[in-house]
């Protein structure tokens, strides 16, 4: 009898699944909001799941974290004040704080236990948590943005889970409108928007809702992500006042240390597949 241990996430609606070979179960707890589990995998390093769904692995997290931060930050002409809604593993925060022009990065995460567990098992993602520019608030991101003063932030990053349960409201038009209100002129919003292959309608919906909320320019970035459904993911951006094509190309070219993002990728990632153009 085989004693191999595998973690499997099934995508019942699409008749598919992801399986990762597990060496050891490192941690399991029930927070006030969800079940948090940590595994040591055979080939993808440490794995975090929330309620049985993959959130982050050592091997491929840089794809998501880089593409959810750098395109938005380089689209803004001078990003000083950044808000991250969600992002409890702190990988997006780390990438944001690699930009020296950022003066403050506020992270609003509902479940503090996700961050505390990440600090223990993903220390490389949390290396900027004690940066004096980092500010943590463990509360409801939807309520936070609705109470934010007008023009408070330059960039808002919605690093959320799937659009179910408490996260469903992060995909609504009124939420995007609240983000638009909280952004200063030329402000940029980016929100994770699921798989182009499996959730094309959701991406179109995110784009149309951002436009309805007042964003003059809207587009998505597309990137590979092995551990998420279909292995292909997206983030959708909305911008106040300027087009998506206007980004700080020279600054992006000089930016080093990334594994996936670079200045050329800023433009290439915004090219949509034909089936999303109609």
The Cα–Cα gap between 213 and 179 comes to 9
166 is in an annotated binding site: yes
* Residue 211 DSSP SS3: helix
Given a contact cutoff of 8 angstroms between Cβ atoms, the answer to whether 127 and 92 are in contact is: no
140 is in an annotated binding site: yes
141 is in an annotated binding site: yes
193 is in an annotated binding site: no
161 is in an annotated binding site: yes
Point out the catalytic residue in the list 60, 159, 174, 251: 159
The Cα–Cα gap between 85 and 104 comes to 14
17 is in an annotated binding site: no
Return the H-helix or E-strand segment holding 162: none
What would the two tokens of residue 251 be? 């600054």
Give the side-chain half-sphere CA count within 13 A for 193. 29
Sequence-distant (≥ 6) Cβ neighbours of residue 81 within 8 angstroms? 102, 103, 104, 106, 152, 153, 154, 155, 184
Strand partners, 11: 16
65 is in an annotated binding site: yes
160 is in an annotated binding site: yes
Strand partners, 235: 192, 221
Q: Known catalytic residue: 159?
A: yes
The Cα–Cα gap between 237 and 33 comes to 28
162 is in an annotated binding site: yes
Given a contact cutoff of 8 angstroms between Cβ atoms, the answer to whether 72 and 266 are in contact is: no
241 is in an annotated binding site: no
Given a contact cutoff of 8 angstroms between Cβ atoms, the answer to whether 275 and 248 are in contact is: no
The Cα–Cα gap between 37 and 27 comes to 6
Binding residues for spermidine: 65, 89, 159-162
Q: Return the active site residues.
A: 159
Going by the annotation, the residues of the binding site for S-methyl-5'-thioadenosine are 34, 109, 140-141, 166
Annotated binding site: 34, 65, 89, 109, 140-141, 159-162, 166
């Amino acid at each position: 009898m085989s004693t191999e241990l595998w973690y499997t996430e099934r995508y019942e609606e699409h008749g598919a699944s992801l399986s990762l070979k597990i060496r050891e179960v490192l941690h399991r707890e029930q927070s006030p909001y969800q079940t948090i589990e940590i595994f040591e995998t055979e080939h993808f390093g440490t794995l975090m799941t929330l309620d049985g769904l993959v959130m982050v692995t050592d091997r491929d997290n840089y794809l998501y974290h880089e593409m959810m931060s750098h395109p938005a930050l380089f689209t803004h002409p001078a990003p000083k004040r950044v808000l991250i809604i969600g992002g409890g593993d702190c990988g997006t925060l780390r990438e944001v704080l690699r930009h020296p022009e950022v003066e403050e990065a506020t992270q609003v995460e509902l479940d503090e236990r996700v961050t505390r567990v990440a600090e223990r098992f993903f220390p490389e993602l949390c290396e900027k948590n004690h940066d004096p520019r980092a500010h943590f608030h463990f509360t409801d991101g939807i309520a936070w943005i609705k109470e934010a003063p007008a023009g408070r932030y330059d960039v808002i990053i919605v690093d959320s889970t799937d659009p179910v349960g408490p996260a469903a409201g992060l995909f609504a038009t009124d939420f995007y409108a609240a983000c638009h209100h909280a952004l200063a002129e030329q402000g940029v919003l980016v929100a994770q928007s699921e798989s182009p292959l499996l959730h094309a309608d959701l991406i179109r919906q995110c784009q149309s809702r951002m436009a309805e909320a007042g964003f003059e320019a809207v587009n998505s970035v597309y990137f590979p992500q092995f551990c998420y459904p279909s292995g292909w993911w997206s983030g959708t951006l909305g911008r106040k006042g300027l087009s998506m094509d206007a980004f700080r190309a020279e600054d992006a070219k000089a930016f080093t240390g990334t594994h996936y993002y670079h200045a050329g990728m800023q433009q290439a990632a915004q090219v949509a597949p034909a089936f999303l153009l109609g």
